[in-house]
């Protein structure tokens, strides 16, 4: 914020020196606030992108749901699920 006009330092008295010091302090604070706002904007943009990606993944999962009248087992992860048979209920044997 160097575009602010500062009073010349020197023998102008403590009032002008104090005013110059205040202007400098305020300029530094304004710069810190400006930097913080820029960082918050970047963070918000990143979060909006993540939200959009999550919404797309959710929509993809929802599109794979069977109709309510469909009695098949849900497979949301896309993995092959073998059909269960009565003999599958027993423990596997190891040889």
How is the chain split among helix, strand and coil, in percent rounded to 5? 55, 0, 45
Give the closest residue to 3 by CA, choosing from 33, 26, 36: 26
Task: Count the Cβ atoms, other than its own, within 10 Å of residue 20.
Answer: 16
pTM: 0.49
Q: How many residues does the chain have?
A: 95
Task: Give the model confidence (pLDDT) of 37-82 as tens digits.
Answer: 999 999 999 999 999 999 999 999 998 887 766 656 655 566 655 6
pLDDT in tens, 28-46: 999 999 999 999 999 999 9
Q: Are 27 and 1 in contact (CB under 8 A)?
A: yes
> Tokens in use for 5?
């006009």
> Is 30:2 a contact under the CB 8 Å cutoff?
no
């Amino acid at each position: 914020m160097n575009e602010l006009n500062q009073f010349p330092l020197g023998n102008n008295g403590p009032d002008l020196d104090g005013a110059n010091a205040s202007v400098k302090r305020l300029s530094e604070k304004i710069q810190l606030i400006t930097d913080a706002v820029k960082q918050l904007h970047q963070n918000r943009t990143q979060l909006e992108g993540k939200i959009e990606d999550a919404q797309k993944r959710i929509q993809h999962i929802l599109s794979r749901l069977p109709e309510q009248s469909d009695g098949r087992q849900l497979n949301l992860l896309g993995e092959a699920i073998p059909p269960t048979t009565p003999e599958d209920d027993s423990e596997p044997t190891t040889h």
